[in-house]
């Protein structure tokens, strides 16, 4: 089952909202739902165009390149560093699990606290 743009965006919001030290707001424009961890952006949900329902996340440059190559609806993010940010729209292969993984990874990349070692 292919996700709709609204579902993709809601999964991203739900995932972001479940993470630690997260805030959200609309500091740039009413059409961009911006999610931050410790004042660093890790997710943007674009709401100004119902035909372009996307989310934008921070990624490792190598993973971002692979995702852009493998999925037609993963693109270089507008207005952000072209190596470290991607936008994801609904399309073939874009799943709830992929969105959740990308939001978690983006949160981890933006949150520069040292990770606790697990025993």
Percent of the chain with pLDDT over 70: 94
CA distance 40 to 100: 19
Q: For residue 102, how far is the Cα from the chain centroid?
A: 6
CA distance 49 to 41: 21
> Given this model, what pLDDT does residue 89 score?
95
Task: Tell whether pTM > 0.85.
Answer: yes
Nearest Cα to 74, choosing from 108, 49, 85, 34? 85
Give per-residue pLDDT as tens, 57-75: 999 999 999 999 999 999 9
22 pLDDT above the threshold of 90 = yes
| DSSP result, 35-72 | EEETTEEEEEEE-S-TT---EEEE--HHHHHHHHHH-T
Please give the C-alpha separations between residue 21 and each of 24, 117, 119, in angstroms, as whole numbers: 10, 19, 23
CA distance 17 to 82: 26
């Amino acid at each position: 089952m292919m996700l709709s743009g609204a579902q993709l965006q809601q999964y991203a919001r739900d995932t972001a909202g479940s993470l630690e030290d997260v805030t959200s707001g609309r500091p740039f424009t009413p059409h961009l739902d911006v999610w931050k961890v410790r004042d660093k952006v890790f997710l943007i949900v674009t709401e100004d165009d119902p035909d372009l329902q996307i989310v934008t996340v921070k990624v490792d440059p190598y993973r971002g390149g692979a995702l852009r190559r493998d999925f037609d609806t993963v693109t270089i993010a507008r207005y952000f560093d072209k190596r470290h940010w991607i936008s994801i729209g609904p399309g073939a292969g874009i799943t709830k699990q992929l969105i959740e993984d990308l939001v978690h990874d983006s949160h981890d990349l933006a949150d520069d606290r040292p990770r606790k070692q697990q025993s």
